[in-house]
């Protein structure tokens, strides 16, 4: 948890600033959101259904992550990442 605090401080942020978490399906980010909230972060949110969303259960696309999620909802995305907005452990 201290790594998160250090990373936020480096960016000039505190426990009262808005933090938005996203993972592939939304399951890990909701756990992380709850952990941060339990540790005093007051404006921490998760992107429901994550970046790629859930897997299709039927049709020719069965098993592919093609329903809901950020990417499949038509929201803006790119494979080009800006390191200034990322939290890297090393």
Would you state the pLDDT for residue 77? 83
Would you state the pLDDT for residue 67? 85
pLDDT in tens, the chain (90 residues): 678 888 888 888 899 999 999 999 989 999 999 999 999 999 999 999 999 888 899 899 898 888 888 888 888 888 888 887 776 666
Judge whether 24 and 32 are in contact, CB under 8 Å: no
Q: From residue 67, how far is each of 5, 40, 52 by CA, in Å?
A: 34, 33, 8
Would you state the pLDDT for residue 85? 76
Give the CATH number, domain containing residue 43: 3.40.250.10
Would you state the pLDDT for residue 31? 95
User: For the chain, how many structural domains are there in total?
Assistant: 1
Give domain status of residue 88, yes or no. no
Give domain status of residue 41, yes or no. yes
pTM for the structure as a whole: 0.73
Residue 29 is part of which domain span? Answer: 2-81
Give domain status of residue 90, yes or no. no
């Amino acid at each position: 948890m201290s790594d998160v605090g250090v990373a936020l401080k480096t960016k000039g942020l505190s426990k009262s600033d808005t933090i938005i978490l996203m993972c592939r399906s939304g399951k890990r980010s909701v756990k992380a959101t709850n952990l941060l909230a339990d540790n005093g972060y007051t404006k921490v949110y998760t992107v429901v259904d994550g970046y790629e969303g859930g897997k299709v259960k039927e049709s020719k696309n069965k098993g592919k992550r093609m329903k809901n999620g950020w990417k499949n909802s038509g929201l803006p995305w790119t494979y080009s990442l800006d390191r200034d907005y990322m939290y890297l452990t090393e």
